[in-house]
Structure 1
Amino acid sequence: MAIKNIIFDFGGVVMDWNPRYFFKDHFKDDEKMEHFLKNIATDEWNAEQDRGRTLAEGTEIQVAKHPEWEKEIRAYYDNWTTMLKSEIPHNVAVLRKLEHSKYHLFGLTNWSAETFPYALENYDFFKIFQNKIVVSGTEKLIKPDPTIWEVLLERYKIKAEESVFIDDNAKNIELAKSLGFICIHIKNDTDLEKELRDLGVAF
């Protein structure tokens, strides 16, 4: 079946986000920083904000659990924009090449509804999606819950088997494959344009 749609995850695909970009200078101690990110401000905790919990609520919950880390926990979302370092140029270049192609472009991202507007305002390539973006924090659903892919499919009346899904998270790729999507798993050395061309995508 011919490919009609190309769906981008954002973090790790077109945006370089990492809390270490802020906390490296904050701690000036890599061991302490890694302890904090592994045990206090964990990926699982941040994911709940991506699922729709407010930043304020998430912060207070964690401060109550770890009062000795209050300063660092409060610094997390206060300095979130520093963690959003830049776009990922080679993948954004591919997105720009696709802008005037025959394919329909979509975004499917795990991102807090409170912080995503900053990215929209500060990185012009998001306009390429023409607002066809499903944001986990807005939907109160998060990958790899299959329901969030179903939201995308139903909202835009598209079919999984006609769609390429691009993500850097192996669990998300695995789930998308099970739903019938054609998938590209982004790794550090992935040549996204080559991967798409190998699938028959024409630029």
Structure 2
Amino acid sequence: MSSKISTIIFDLGAVLIDWNPRYMYRKIFKTEEEMEWFLENITTGEWNENQDAGYPLHKATEELIAKHPEWEKEISSYYERWIEMLGEQIHETVEILAKLKKDNSLKIYALTNWSAETFPRALERFEFLQWFNGIVVSGEEKTRKPFADFYKILLDRYNIDATTSLLIDDNLRNIKGAEQLGINGIRFINAEQLRNELENVYQIIV
């Protein structure tokens, strides 16, 4: 780290918000094995990321059903019942966010891979999303992490110096994408690990 951190950038899903399609699909499938096969082979993470980058939910659903008509009900449920995939806020990390927000020397932003069509539901549900100095949502920008243009939107929009910024993200791929632009990164595992790295590596007391 070459300079003191002045900007902290949070990922949302799996860092501050517990989102998992299994919460909904366990109500549909009889066994974990069948559910996992479906998530690995039909409504894959790559498929969902396409919608995170702005592809319309109804088109994605229709096209996937056309490929796998035998799974029509289960595919349709993905976005029809998306709200059931949304768990609680991750309280320990939200506590860290709250403490960082009190530090007047820091600006706090969110950079999230999230569909523009479903993100308003999260805004309604989680009060802490109002704490950020700004949020950049992939679905609104039609691009996503780890692509360089998505990070640059945040940097340019809020006049952020990459070298004094720090991304907290659970996905190593996204951390590496940020590092290509000079953004520092912490791969999030849990709140205790995050607190330790903030304090011991970046001298940010939380």
TM-score bracket, shorter-length normalisation: over 0.9
Q: Who is 2:38 aligned against?
A: 36
RMSD of aligned residue pairs (Cα, Å): 1.2
Within the candidate set 90, 96, 99, 1:97 is matched to 99
Q: Aligned partners of 1:54, 1:86: CA distance in 2, in Å? A: 26
With normalisation by structure 2, the TM-score equals 0.95
After superposing on structure 2, the runs of 4+ consecutive aligned residues of structure 1 that deviate more than 3 Å are none
How far 1:188 moved relative to its partner? 4.4
Task: Give a deviation string over 1:114-166, Cα, whole Å, max 9, x none.
Answer: 10011111100001014x01100000001110110011110000111100110
Q: Who is 1:116 aligned against?
A: 119
Q: Aligned partners of 1:61, 1:188: CA distance in 2, in Å? A: 37
Counterpart code for 1:8: F
1:106 equivalent to 2:109? Answer: yes
Contact persistence 2:93–2:191 (CA under 8 A):
no
How far 1:190 moved relative to its partner? 4.9
Partner SS for 1:27:
coil
Task: Give a deviation string over 1:5-36, Cα, whole Å, max 9, x none.
Answer: 00000001101111001111210211110111
Alignment of 1:54-203 (within 5 A): 54-101=56-103, 102-130=105-133, 132-188=134-190, 190-198=192-200, 199-203=202-206
Name structure 2 gaps, 5 residues minimum. Answer: none
Q: Across the two proteins, how many residue pairs are aligned to each other?
A: 202
Partner SS for 2:27:
helix
How far 1:189 moved relative to its partner? 7.0
Name structure 1 gaps, 5 residues minimum. Answer: none
With normalisation by structure 1, the TM-score equals 0.96
Q: 1:189 to 1:87 in 2, by over 3 A?
A: closer
- Of all paired residues, the percent bearing the same amino acid is 48
